[in-house]
Amino acid sequence: MQKKQYMVFRLDDNVIITLLAVCILASLAFVIRYKNYKPCTDFDIDISGTNFQTGTIIRFSANVKDFKRLEWDFGDHQKQRYFTEIASAMHSYDAPGQYVITLIQDGRCYAYKTITIEEAPEIVDSTVLPIIKMPDSAYVGDPVTFEEVSQKARSWDWRYGDANSLNSSAERIFTTRFTTEGVKTISVTINGSGKAVIRRLVVLPKKPSSLPLGPPRPLRGETGGQLPPPILPQGMDTAKKSPATDPVIVPEKKYPGWEPATFNQMMRASTGGKGRVTDYQKYFCDNNINTTVILNGNAITFQEFFEKIKAVKKADDLSLHTQIFTNPSNNCVVKISVIAKVKAGLLKWAQRNL
């Protein structure tokens, strides 16, 4: 009878000690991390003012509490980020456009805000601009006088005419005649400054003759100066007039409207490949599913955005901060701005942009 053989494996003591040490260190790190962990609380970014222009210093603040350091990213792709230990910061933008502001609390909690910067108007000294003295309208063939009456002018450069003909003059005052009717453009610059003032002159058809025509001559056989009444077909009553028909007013199409909270809920329900993009065309102007979506500062179409939503796994956490811009007259969506983050993994620590 053959005896059974058994093989015995024995781990080295050093290996066992190393494994125990790694387990103890990992447990301590987890306990320390868990003890010091503070969940992120909701906080918002506030912007002082309502009209934001290039070159203007803008103050930003946040209602965040219990933080050590704040990191500000103002969305204009500057290499330097701002770190503050108070819940406010100041910044100015060099170019007009729409920017997404990101505020990071202690490197792990995020808040977003969108700001629109407009081009600052150019400040021009009104005392060095031309002042034109001219009529608002004239007749074909009649003389028209143009005069520049500012006090600081020393030289003049006139341009006048239309798309078919353009004339010029270098005098302070000049007179011309127009041979065609229509709207004429008049512009002048002074002292070679390049700042032109533009006016419009309406040229009317040639003025009719002012000679009196006198009363109409009576017809032969008539004693008076009035023409006989016209002969109407039998049964036609001159007092009856055709009733005026009211214009048909077609009511403008109204759209259901889309609140940001409803939008976020619908998008989260579409994760994991659910839903069709055509289900949402009723919210957009002219049912255009290619309406612009500003996703994390980048412009894409809604159709492309929805495909990204469907690619998110159902088990992942989808964070959405949404602004919806609508047409005030019919409530249709003209643009959407979204800051979207996805947290994946078992403990949801890994975060990425959508």
Q: The domain spanning residue 273 has which CATH number?
A: 3.10.450
Regarding whether 134 and 101 lie in a shared domain, the answer is: no
Lowest-confidence range among 23-32, 93-102, 139-148, 178-187?
Answer: 23-32
Q: What is the mean pLDDT of residues 121-136?
A: 79
Regarding whether 131 and 111 lie in a shared domain, the answer is: no
Q: Where does the pLDDT of residue 222 fall: very low under 50, low under 70, confident under 90, or very high at 90 and above?
A: very low
Model confidence over 155-206: pLDDT tens digits?
Answer: 999 988 876 677 888 899 999 998 888 888 898 988 887 678 888 899 998 8
Contact 62, 79 (CB under 8 A): no
Regarding whether 349 and 282 lie in a shared domain, the answer is: yes
Q: What is the mean pLDDT of residues 60-68?
A: 86
Regarding whether 134 and 198 lie in a shared domain, the answer is: yes
The whole-angstrom distance between residue 107's C-alpha and the CA centroid of its chain comes to 31
In this prediction, residue 9 carries a pLDDT of: 61
Lowest-confidence range among 13-22, 56-65, 310-319, 340-349?
Answer: 340-349
Q: Does residue 334 lie in a domain region?
A: yes
Q: Does residue 175 lie in a domain region?
A: yes
Residue 286: phi and psi, rounded to 5, are 55, 25
Strand partners, 113: 101
Last residue of one domain, picked from the residues 100, 117, 134: 117
Regarding whether 342 and 264 lie in a shared domain, the answer is: yes
Q: What is the mean pLDDT of residues 201-216?
A: 71
Last residue of one domain, picked from the residues 156, 172, 204: 204
Q: What is the mean pLDDT of residues 85-93?
A: 86
Regarding whether 278 and 198 lie in a shared domain, the answer is: no
Last residue of one domain, picked from the residues 83, 117, 151: 117
Q: Does residue 233 lie in a domain region?
A: no
Q: Does residue 232 lie in a domain region?
A: no
Regarding whether 131 and 93 lie in a shared domain, the answer is: no
Q: Where does the pLDDT of residue 65 fall: very low under 50, low under 70, confident under 90, or very high at 90 and above?
A: confident
Q: Does residue 235 lie in a domain region?
A: no
Regarding whether 152 and 69 lie in a shared domain, the answer is: no
Q: Is the pLDDT of residue 38 over 80?
A: no
Contact 338, 353 (CB under 8 A): no
Regarding whether 141 and 101 lie in a shared domain, the answer is: no
Q: Does residue 249 lie in a domain region?
A: no
Q: What is the mean pLDDT of residues 251-277?
A: 86
Regarding whether 183 and 133 lie in a shared domain, the answer is: yes
Q: Is the pLDDT of residue 234 over 60?
A: no
Q: Does residue 147 lie in a domain region?
A: yes
Angstrom distance (rounded) from CA 152 to CA 191: 9
The whole-angstrom distance between residue 60's C-alpha and the CA centroid of its chain comes to 21
Domain range for residue 182? 126-204
Q: Does residue 63 lie in a domain region?
A: yes
Regarding whether 143 and 69 lie in a shared domain, the answer is: no
Q: Mean pLDDT score of the chain, rounded to an integer?
A: 81
- Domains contained in the chain, number: 3
Lowest-confidence range among 77-86, 148-157, 295-304?
Answer: 77-86
The reported pTM is 0.38
Regarding whether 146 and 96 lie in a shared domain, the answer is: no
Instruction: Residue 134: give its domain's CATH number.
Output: 2.60.40.10
